[in-house]
Amino acid sequence: MKVRDSGMPEENYWETFFNPPYILSQLQLDNTIKDVAEFGSGYGTFTLQAAKIIKGKLHAFDIEPEMISILKDKLSKEKISNVKVYHADFVKEETKLKDESIDYAMLFNILHAKDPVSLLREVYRILIHKGKVGIIHWIYSDATPRGPSLDIRPKPEQCIEWLKQAGFKLGSEVIQLPPYHYGIVGIKT
């Protein structure tokens, strides 16, 4: 099931919204992290950068065959071998990753899904004890050039509440990621 009100714009336009090295550093993804799961890898905006930072394997999930193909081509061109790409409906089904097998999960611009707590519970299941989840989302403003409609776009307070409902504790305050995003880190207790 595709996340509601999603869809990717042209790649060059999409890439202008993010500074992946900065965002990943702010969300505590560093070279002490071994294995990562990315929920909604898209064009690989964060996948490629994260794969170069971590010590282990990055499991990249997306539902769109076109995005999977683009990401695989980029990985091949850049000779990045520590990424496993999955064409999967992680919203409707589990990732099929083992319990407590992942150090860090990336949930970037995806918590406007119909049931974000279920998605966070799947993340909780696969994370090791004290594993982290990094969240970014569009700020709650109609001045952003993209993002889900405001009636389903989560505010930071909602994301924090969902994290707590799924069993996480906060690993950061709300992080401003200008010009259009904010971030939060949750830790599995």
Q: State residue 4's pLDDT score.
A: 46
Q: State residue 180's pLDDT score.
A: 95
Query: Band of the pLDDT at 1, cuts 50, 70, 90?
Result: very low
| Angle subtended at Cα 122 by Cα 118 and Cα 128, rounded to the nearest 5 degrees | 145
**Which tops the pLDDT comparison, 9 or 117?**
117
Q: Are 151 and 108 in contact (CB under 8 A)?
A: no
pTM for the structure as a whole: 0.94
In order of their start, the domains of the chain are 11-188 (3.40.50.150)
Give 3-53 pLDDT, tens digit per residue: 545 567 687 878 888 999 999 999 999 999 999 999 999 999 999 999 999
Q: State residue 2's pLDDT score.
A: 52
Give 63-107 pLDDT, tens digit per residue: 999 999 999 999 999 999 999 999 999 888 889 999 999 999 999
